Amino acid sequence: MADPKGFLNHGREVAESRPVDVRLKDWNEVYVPGSLLPIISKQASRCMDCGIPFCHNGCPLGNLIPEWNDYAYREDWAAASERLHATNNFPEFTGRLCPAPCESACVLGINQPAVTIKNVEVSIIDKAWDGGDVAPQIPERLSGKTVAVIGSGPAGLAAAQQLTRAGHTVAVYERADRVGGLLRYGIPEFKMEKRHINRRIEQMRAEGTRFRTGIEIGRDLKATDLKKRYDAVVIAAGATTARDLPVPGRELNGIHQAMEYLPLANKVQEGDFVAPPITAEGKHVVVIGGGDTGADCVGTAHRQGAASVTQLEIMPKPGEDRAPNQPWPTFPMLYKVTSAHEEGGERVYSVSTTHFEGDEDGNVQWLHLVEVEFVDGKLTQKPGTERKIPAQLVTLAMGFTGTDRENGLVEQFGLELDERGNIARDADFQTNVPGVFVAGDAGRGQSLIVWAIAEGRSAARGCDRFLTGASDLPAPIKPTDRSLTV
Ligand SMILES: Cc1cc2nc3c(=O)[nH]c(=O)nc-3n(C[C@H](O)[C@H](O)[C@H](O)COP(=O)(O)OP(=O)(O)OC[C@H]3O[C@@H](n4cnc5c(N)ncnc54)[C@H](O)[C@@H]3O)c2cc1C
Ligand code: SF4
């Protein structure tokens, strides 16, 4: 145990954010660099090592949180990093981007603010990189087996790293021009600077993983040909089909899916464009969808100089405390103020878009909405509450319905889908096609980075067993596991 009185002597302190007017002028991460280190050992000492660490179960990866809290308290960063990597390939991603369901399950959180587990995690990995403690782990011998991984998001990267370290020869196929999936093209720079991905890819290359970008399996290379070339395949193609809003006026210029808008801002940061082809500059922006993707649009629009930003959500505003049906240690749906929301804009709840209105050139100018409420368990429009708000750029951030069905990948492999439209798999993450596995959002549906990494690790074990008859790789989750979180 770190310090028996840590939780009595120290309150919860989190990473310090840069002032809003300063951070809106750039795209760097919102936190003050180096602000965690002076406080993190004390914060780690708040861990009670409570005997039954519910945080292990709250974290889909089963991260060994009390163990690395102890090392962080003692400032033994190399040992902390070893414990952290025992269950998580990419703690620099989760330590920045995870909604931290572990903290919702922290025992201290029953009657006090939870341990800042996520901040401890990111401090350990940042120290480990700075101290040269993250070295490539090159396999001692090769198995002679080959694996193709389709998709380079967190699920594909985790599967590829595990399989490479198990001695297989792994090639990752990615249709985009750079690797990283939604970590690269989706999540904005101000939430995670892309240098963190680049550094990890260098480690993976040094370990032997090969990357083939700009190749879409199904279109550029037939799935059947890929299967012939490799001993096994892991599909980690994500759930990239976006939900649409088929209301009158949807065809007007200036209405875009969030994933048409956000990657262009990422590409400016990568140096591909001087200015984004779709920009919020000087415009009244409306973001439809109250979730994290919507919040990323809000932060991006503010940095591009929007005249105003309004975020609409059809559901009622969540509460600030746990509802009775979401008790500790579950992950509750609470009202969240993200860094993007601290930066401005208006959030409007319980409203539904009825139609869009444009000018004579076909450009969207107004969004018409109506208030809604639950009547007999059904969302119903409230008569007399119709109004319109200015909208010169609209982004749709209403979630994703499943993996891409247009490139032929599903049909060419002959894959079965489950009742939710995701790629079906068995207890080993194997699809109905022997030797073809699935991990991440493609099999699970739209989810989180931490689940994608857990799925990638588990599918790697299933794949390793298929190739060699046995596996020493860990499998943190079962395909059906939804644990304490989403
Ligand atoms: C805007 C946005 C913000 C988010 N923010 C967060 C957050 O802050 N925290 C969090 O935990 N989660 C967040 N999420 C969710 C998280 O990013 C996903 O759950 C996670 O990335 C899923 O990982 P994946 O590897 O399964 O798929 P993805 O990251 O979607 O990667 C799939 C990859 O496969 C490639 N691909 C698809 N088909 C083919 C093909 N046929 N051939 C070759 N390549 C192919 C795609 O180009 C893509 O690169 C966010 C999602 C979005 C959209
Ligand atoms: S990965 Fe997420 S849930 Fe797991 S310890 Fe880190 S912040 Fe918590």
Q: Looking at the structure, tell me whether residues 46 and 86 fall in a common domain.
A: yes
* Nearest CA among 371, 370, 368, 372 for reference residue 390: 368
Q: What is the pLDDT of residue 55?
A: 95
Q: Looking at the structure, tell me whether residues 283 and 381 fall in a common domain.
A: yes
- The preferred substitution site among 14, 57, 63 for testing ligand 2, maximizing ligand atoms within 8 Å of CB, is 63
Q: What is the pLDDT of residue 477?
A: 87
Last residue of a domain, one of 398, 421, 452: 398
- Give the pLDDT band (50/70/90) at residue 290: very high
86, pLDDT greater than 90: yes
* Nearest CA among 163, 158, 199 for reference residue 181: 158
Q: What is the pLDDT of residue 483?
A: 63
Q: What is the pLDDT of residue 485?
A: 54
Would residue 482 count as lying in a domain?
no
Q: What is the residue with the minimal CA distance to atom 49 of ligand 1? A: 181
Q: Looking at the structure, tell me whether residues 348 and 261 fall in a common domain.
A: yes
What is the per-residue pLDDT across 192-203, written as a single tens digit (0 to 9) for each?
999 999 999 999
What is the per-residue pLDDT across 18-34, written as a single tens digit (0 to 9) for each?
999 999 999 999 999 99
Q: Looking at the structure, tell me whether residues 248 and 389 fall in a common domain.
A: yes
Would residue 1 count as lying in a domain?
no
Residues whose CB is less than 8 angstroms from the CB of residue 50 and which lie 6 or more positions away in sequence, other chains included: 66, 107, 108
Q: What is the pLDDT of residue 236?
A: 98
- The preferred substitution site among 36, 43, 81, 118 for testing ligand 2, maximizing ligand atoms within 8 Å of CB, is 118
Would residue 485 count as lying in a domain?
no
Number of H helices, E strands in the chain: 18, 16
CA distance 310 to 348: 7
Q: How far is the CA of 153 from the centre of ligand 1 (A)?
A: 5
* Nearest CA among 193, 213, 156 for reference residue 270: 193
Q: How far is the CA of 378 from the centre of ligand 1 (A)?
A: 32
Percent of the chain with pLDDT over 90: 96
369 membership: H or E segment, kind and range: strand 364-375
CA distance 213 to 265: 20
Q: Looking at the structure, tell me whether residues 125 and 213 fall in a common domain.
A: no
Q: Looking at the structure, tell me whether residues 414 and 292 fall in a common domain.
A: no
Q: Looking at the structure, tell me whether residues 260 and 362 fall in a common domain.
A: yes
Q: Looking at the structure, tell me whether residues 258 and 234 fall in a common domain.
A: no
Q: What is the pLDDT of residue 15?
A: 93
Would residue 140 count as lying in a domain?
no
Q: Looking at the structure, tell me whether residues 295 and 423 fall in a common domain.
A: no
Q: Are 245 and 287 in contact (CB under 8 A)?
A: no
- The preferred substitution site among 47, 55, 102 for testing ligand 2, maximizing ligand atoms within 8 Å of CB, is 102
Beta bridge partners of 31: 17
What is the per-residue pLDDT across 234-262, written as a single tens digit (0 to 9) for each?
999 999 999 999 999 999 999 999 999 99
Last residue of a domain, one of 398, 424, 443: 398
Mean pLDDT across 142-168? 98
What is the per-residue pLDDT across 89-107, written as a single tens digit (0 to 9) for each?
999 999 999 999 999 999 9
Q: How far is the CA of 107 from the centre of ligand 2 (A)?
A: 15
Retrieve residue 414's tokens. 């002959």
Residues in the chain, overall count? 486
Q: Looking at the structure, tell me whether residues 236 and 350 fall in a common domain.
A: no
CA distance 234 to 462: 10
Would residue 46 count as lying in a domain?
yes
Q: What is the residue with the minimal CA distance to atom 4 of ligand 2? A: 59
- Give the pLDDT band (50/70/90) at residue 133: very high
CATH code assigned at 432? 3.50.50.60
Q: Looking at the structure, tell me whether residues 463 and 341 fall in a common domain.
A: no
Would residue 362 count as lying in a domain?
yes
**228 CB-contact burial (10 Å; exposed 0-12 / middle 13-18 / buried 19+):** exposed
Would residue 31 count as lying in a domain?
yes
Looking at the 3D structure of the chain, how many domains does it have? 3
- Give the pLDDT band (50/70/90) at residue 454: very high
From residue 431, alpha-carbon distances to 95, 125, 428 in Å are 31, 34, 9
Mean pLDDT across 147-172? 98
CATH code assigned at 92? 1.10.1060.10
What is the per-residue pLDDT across 106-128, written as a single tens digit (0 to 9) for each?
999 999 999 999 999 999 999 99
Mean pLDDT across 461-469? 98
Would residue 412 count as lying in a domain?
yes
Q: How far is the CA of 450 from the centre of ligand 2 (A)?
A: 7
Last residue of a domain, one of 78, 102, 130: 130
Q: What is the residue with the minimal CA distance to atom 1 of ligand 2? A: 94
Q: Looking at the structure, tell me whether residues 322 and 282 fall in a common domain.
A: yes
Q: Is the CB of 182 under 6 A from ligand 1?
A: yes
Range of the domain at 453: 146-240+401-468
Q: Is the CB of 440 under 6 A from ligand 1?
A: yes
Q: Is 203 helix (H, G, I), strand (E, B) or coil?
A: helix
CA distance 396 to 382: 23
Which atom in ligand 2 lies closest to the alpha carbon of residue 61? 4
CA distance 180 to 185: 7
Which atom in ligand 2 lies closest to the alpha carbon of residue 101? 3
Q: What is the pLDDT of residue 484?
A: 55
Examine residue 329 and say whether the peptide bond preceding it is cis (omega within 30 degrees of 0): yes
